[in-house]
A and B are shown apart, each in its own frame.
Chain A
């Protein structure tokens, strides 16, 4: 224990030195979001550029700060100045940024996002005062984007492992009590109270117990857990050691999909660092508690996020759910009592032990305490990773933090909880984001994926997309899920392709309810949600497809036609771009589209200059022929 305290003090001075010495500190967002925007090259370019000019500086790679739409993000802190955060710093911008700000103290206005620190620079806004960040409460993600995730010292200097030392001081019973007082509910999907699940496992008698961290994040568009691991891996390790200690488990597994190579790399390093410093292994910090963590890479099956399928997968079997009871807390991995918690839940355990239950429960609603990380994506201006207090309204989340719908389009619906969740229409946007309120309107919190849709999204096609996902990811074991999702998918395909029948709407509802009621595991029990909620809130769109031959969102190819309006000046742009030679016309004369030849790819609509706005999409006019 004393060794850790000494190391924490040493780490604090390293951190202090990094932030206050006369060398500029440059941080580059280098998580997966940053990397896909080119941050690896940006780091190299910054190093090369500063070396060439002869500026000594510390360049560190950090995780995701959540503003994924602004990646690559580069922050520069010069001595005595607040940290200045720049966005969209592509390779081309590096030279300018270094020359303008690092050398000449001129902030390039097009790149700057905000400042971090007490003082202000000119009229540059403070980063955390920006509308995208102001309503957020960053706790689980506090260190993400600020510390070097490969540095144990950075973690230690930012109250890292203080939760573990406190946990050892208070003992397992008190840990469970604090987690109960904090009101922590599972962040992975169902929102089951963590302490209650733990208690089943603690009460089960066994010579061996296991803790599994579910890092198999599989919802399309969700990346909360990945970002957390990539940006702050020790937060998960600390939460796991505390939880293992509370449960009496001596082995922990992290089940992480192999498609997360950077997260796995970060985890391997973090585990190695923890082992080298006596935070993992035998007699951790002199507590006589032994704990080791193993990583199991998953092959990316969505169903392996389901607890029993995940266990099967670790055991080397095909990831297929098994019936419950027995519950894993009583008989799980290798038949031993096993607790499976999500990445964020475990990180929250660390937070609770670091700061206390009361602190954790400051935010949230009566039944949903704390904050929630959310991957905000889709048709939203500020897409990225956010952390909000439970109970914030969907409207605030989408319009204040998310900045609303881009391109002046109208909001239509929001999907929460991934393929297992449902969609929520505009009129329900004022409901609070908490487990129970979302359940009431037919959707779920899930692990925190939020997909925003605008008026150009066809809700039938949207339901089809998620059913296609669920059907392909079903393990195939039980009849309602294997065949029911396929049947529903085929019906939805028929509807969007113009073969829908009047009785299909009732049939979809009947099948959806049967699949929910009859399936063996959570995948099937929730798979019909996207269909049932779109039927509940957007039934008119289904009816328009089936009865009127129309797709109100003008998306389903079978129901739309492209037309050139009289405003066409005959510039020929559409004609040249049309891959099916369906556009006919002479230069400077009105063009038209030969409907028989048109493949409805939409290129003409895309390329027609906005000042003419001469291409129109119509629906329900299938047989119309242009003159």
Chain B
């Protein structure tokens, strides 16, 4: 069994498992420590330097990189810590394209959250020289865009692509202040090995990597992705009678919050005008819309004449496991053949 440690964070006694970072232990117990480059799915990086805490009154350590220990006393705030965080945040804001009103991350921006937590003062910001990078926005990808002027170079996208997706489509380019995130050779996303899964987009703490058409859902419906046999858990965001976005279910053991390009972005077929909503029957060489009863009757009459080797069933992977089970049962038991397959190669 994993060891448990008793420790104190800001006077609050908490218990945490061995190996847990101080930052994670604090966040799990509703104690906020500012952080920008940390993501619970990824290895700690220690790059943003915002999550510094004091342990046992000693010198500042990064709480994302330090693990819990028995009896330690952690302070998440002090004048030194606040000073270090404030300057780091001021530097970030002076370098950031503060396009908040038009920004996709407006209601979910780590930069704004931390600014509010620290109480960043506009008059202090005025002392700094704002940077105007004026870098081009990469809009090549049909599902998301990358605005390097909003990027805080936290590296979460790079680590996501390496650690979660295992693709390595992203990396750091240039040195110093000119460091940017980019694909190999800093080509547009569509000219790279990027698979458009959007794992980086959902983890971007600011609006640098943002979905192209962010639509806010009125409510969410928990369901399973219809594409392949993996069965990823998703939440469909619904506005009115339309599905407007898809969010991965972090609790579903099959995907633990991850999705592929189809599951995350491939939902426009639902309301697509080309989608079949009624059965078609070929009459005189032309497909003609029919009612369900007519269609089912026709199918039944043909099935009766087609038992045995004449028959084959091909089911869709978009069906549930139960539906696919029924198809094969029907094929074997009723149609008396084993020629049954499905298209789980979508």
- Which A positions have Cβ atoms within 8 angstroms of B? 301, 303, 318, 320, 323, 471-480, 482-487, 490-491, 494, 503, 507, 510-511, 514, 517-520
Contacts and interface: CB of A to CB of B under 8 A. Distances in A.
Interface stretch (B87-95, B206-214, B286-294): B87-95
A487 B175 contact: no
B155 A471 contact: no
B87 A510 contact: yes
Interface string B48-71: 111010000000101001000000
Given A478-B47, A479-B48, A507-B127, A514 B172 contact: no
Contacts of A507: 127-128
A301 B46 contact: no
A520 B49 contact: yes
Contacts of A472: 175-176
Contacts of A494: 129
Contacts of A473: 175-176
A491 B127 CA distance: 10
Given A478-B47, A503-B127, 11 more contacts: A303-B175, A471-B177, A475-B175, A476-B174, A476-B178, A479-B47, A483-B88, A483-B92, A483-B177, A514-B88, A519-B49
Contacts, number: 101
B228 interface: no
B159 to A, nearest CB: 12
Given A471-B177, A475-B175, A482 B153 contact: yes
Given A301-B175, A479-B88, A514-B88, A487 B49 contact: no
Interface in B165-180: 171-172, 174-179
A480 B175 contact: no
B98 to A, nearest CB: 15
B184 to A, nearest CB: 12
Interface in B213-256: none
B84 interface: yes
Contacts of A303: 175
Contacts of B306: none
Given A479-B48, A483-B95, A514-B87, A490 B179 contact: no
B49 A518 contact: yes
Interface string B131-166: 100000000000000000000110100000000000
B190 interface: no
Contacts of B171: 318
Interface string B26-48: 00000000001000000011111
Contacts of A471: 176-177
Interface string B72-96: 0000000000011001100110110
A510 B95 CA distance: 18
B49 A476 contact: no
Interface of B: 36, 44-50, 52, 60, 62, 65, 83-84, 87-88, 91-92, 94-95, 127-129, 131, 152-153, 155, 171-172, 174-179
Nearest to B174: A476
Contacts of A519: 49
Q: Is the interface of A mostly helix, strand, loop or mixed?
A: helix
Contacts of A483: 88, 91-92, 94-95, 177
Given A482-B153, A487-B128, A518-B84, A475 B179 contact: yes
Contacts of A491: 129
A510 B153 CA distance: 23
A483 B65 CA distance: 22
A486 B87 contact: no
Given A487-B91, A507-B127, A520 B176 contact: no
A482 B65 CA distance: 20
B129 A480 contact: no
B167 to A, nearest CB: 16
Nearest to A506: B127
Contact of A486 (B50, B60, B84, B131): B131
Contacts of B178: 476
A-B pairs with lowest CB-CB distance, top 10:
A476-B179, A486-B177, A483-B91, A323-B46, A514-B87, A474-B176, A490-B129, A518-B49, A479-B88, A472-B176
A479 B176 contact: no
A497 to B, nearest CB: 12
B68 to A, nearest CB: 15
Contacts of A476: 153, 172, 174-179
A474 B49 contact: no
29 contacts: A301-B175, A323-B46, A474-B179, A476-B175, A476-B179, A478-B46, A478-B49, A479-B36, A479-B48, A479-B49, A479-B88, A480-B49, A482-B153, A482-B177, A483-B91, A483-B177, A484-B87, A486-B95, A487-B129, A490-B131, A507-B127, A507-B128, A514-B83, A514-B84, A514-B87, A518-B49, A518-B52, A518-B84, A520-B47
